[in-house]
A = this chain, B = another copy of it.
């Protein structure tokens, strides 16, 4: 069975990553691509690495024909997404890769994104797209909200630990190193090769990064009380990958066993043997997430490190994993591509 999908916002990196993955996905076929600023162009002219594929020409969203489309991936910028999705035919299944439907509470949305939500009804309906923890809801959902890439990485470490009650909820520090593609194809000075290569610096320091909205929402819900973590992302001179170094207080062996058990049956989450820890080099361009636990020399403290590819498991791969569930396809279909090394 092959399903027809369309990609809105196909001229960005997550759009291109969706096309890359769907290119060898046996159950999905791309029948529409939109990219407003590049409407009329062939995808090969926007992304020459896709030139071997037989793809639809880019159109505006207005000109796109949704007849026969089973599912839409929406890879539009934040804020744009909610307006577009509100107007889509109600028969369509939708996986949204923007931030617009990640936060359930309109007040939270306004707090983190600086303006009111324009589609609060759909916001209620949306299912949070962290597959391993919302699997059943996703299967039944019409609209799934893809998580933030940093938010996904941190949650893979912390959700099972908070759920199991094995760490101190008031002493959680997440120091994250992010590759640059997470910032998208934006023309910003600090994203230039000359500025970033041989550089490294923090950003959104002090608790201002928007993905904290997701952490706060999810961790507090699990704990049944407010949980606030410290979160400092850093930009490193690499293109793909997130490395999340998490400092927690609790018994390291219990922490390890908790994570090991939580992901025992998960196809994409690999918990390394106790004492080992991952590299972003080892999950690149794949849908896998590697997690490692190391005991600190100070008793009762552990370092848990997770690595995933922000464009794949953190975004477009996750989106396809969710689409598979929504369409009744095998969850791993099209996603078992091995990481690219070196």
Given A193-B192, A298-B207, residue A201 in contact with residue B280 (CB < 8 A): yes
Q: Does A211 contact B (CB under 8 A)?
A: no
Let me know if B191 and A192 touch, CB within 8 A. yes
A202-B171 CB under 8 A given contacts A240-B342, A337-B337: no
Verify A282–B187 contact, CB threshold 8 A: no
Question: Which of A51, A196, A281, A296 is most buried by chain B, counting CB atoms within 10 A of its CB?
Answer: A281
Q: Does A27 reach chain B (CB closer than 8 Å)?
A: no
A236 touches B239 (CB 8 A): no
Contact with B along A19-47 (1 / 0, CB 8 A): 11001100000000000000000000001
Q: Which of A197, A288, A297, A305 has its CB near the most chain B CB atoms (within 10 A)?
A: A197
Contact pick for A298, options B181, B228, B298, CB 8 Å: B228
A336/B23 in contact, CB under 8 A: yes
Contacts of A53 in B (CB 8 A): 338
Q: How far is the CB of A125 from chain B (nearest CB, A)?
A: 30
**Across the interface, do B205 and A305 meet the contact criterion of CB distance under 8 Å?**
yes
Stretch among A67-75, A132-140, A241-249, A319-327 lining the B interface: A241-249
- Asked whether any CB of chain B lies closer than 8 Å to the CB of A185, the reply is yes
Complex interface bits, A244-279 against B, C-beta within 8 A gives 1, otherwise 0: 010100000000000000000000001010010111
- A1 proximal to B (CB < 8 A): no
A208 to B297, alpha carbons, bound, how many Å?
8
Interface flags, A168-211, vs B, CB<8A=1, else 0: 00010101010111000101110111111111111001111000
- Given A192-B193, A338-B50, A177 contacting B236 (CB threshold 8 A): yes
List B contacts of A206 (CB < 8 A).
Answer: 275, 294-297, 303
A285 contacts across to B, CB distance below 8 A = 285, 340
Closest Cβ–Cβ distance, residue A304 to chain B (whole Å): 10
Most chain B CB neighbours (cut-off 10 Å) among A187, A194, A201, A275: A194
Q: Are A301 and B230 in contact (CB under 8 A)?
A: yes
A178 CB, min distance to chain B CBs, angstroms? 9
28 A-B pairs with CB atoms under 8 Å apart are A20-B341, A49-B283, A49-B338, A49-B341, A50-B339, A173-B247, A175-B247, A181-B342, A191-B194, A192-B192, A193-B237, A197-B198, A198-B238, A198-B281, A198-B284, A199-B238, A200-B236, A200-B238, A200-B281, A201-B278, A201-B281, A202-B245, A202-B303, A206-B303, A207-B297, A230-B301, A234-B243, A237-B238
Write the residues of chain A forming the contact surface with B, with a CB cutoff of 8 angstroms: 13, 16, 19-20, 23-24, 47-53, 171, 173, 175, 177, 179-181, 185, 187-189, 191-202, 205-208, 212, 228, 230, 232, 234, 236-241, 243, 245, 247, 270, 272, 275, 277-286, 288, 290, 294-298, 301, 303, 305, 307, 336-342
Task: Name 8 extra pairs, CB < 8 A, besides A23-B338, A195-B281.
Answer: A16-B341, A179-B200, A180-B192, A185-B195, A191-B193, A197-B198, A197-B238, A236-B236
